[in-house]
């Protein structure tokens, strides 16, 4: 069961440094997805190779990843 005060989250992952962190909490799935996509696209532009070193994922309050 999902707690009422749980929010949608965006997690950041740096694949080069092998680190991850909670980037933020959001009230809606749409907002979390928008932030995750925007940040991934931003860091994609700074990537020195074809591989993206930093990526962001949005998660539902129940822990399921929102990206397909």
* Residue 44 within any structural domain of the chain: yes
Query: For 10-38, how does the pLDDT look when each residue is reduced to its tens digit (9 = 90+)?
Result: 999 998 889 999 999 999 999 999 999 99
* Residue 28 within any structural domain of the chain: yes
20-24, 28-32, 45-49, 59-63, range with the lowest pLDDT:
45-49
In the chain, the number of structural domains is: 1
In which domain, by residue range, is 50 found? Answer: 8-59
* Residue 41 within any structural domain of the chain: yes
* Residue 67 within any structural domain of the chain: no
Q: Does the CA dihedral 61-63-64-66 come out positive or negative? A: positive
Measured from the Cβ of residue 8, the count of other Cβ atoms closer than 10 Å reads 21
Measured from the Cβ of residue 32, the count of other Cβ atoms closer than 10 Å reads 25
- The tokens describing 5, both together, are 């005060």
Predicted confidence band of residue 49 (pLDDT cuts 50, 70, 90):
low
């Amino acid at each position: 069961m999902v707690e009422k005060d749980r929010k949608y989250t965006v997690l950041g992952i740096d694949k080069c440094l092998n680190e991850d962190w909670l980037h933020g909490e959001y009230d809606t799935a749409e907002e979390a997805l928008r932030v995750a996509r925007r940040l991934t696209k931003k860091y994609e532009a700074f990537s020195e190779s074809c591989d993206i070193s930093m990526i962001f994922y949005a998660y539902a309050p129940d822990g399921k990843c929102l990206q397909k």
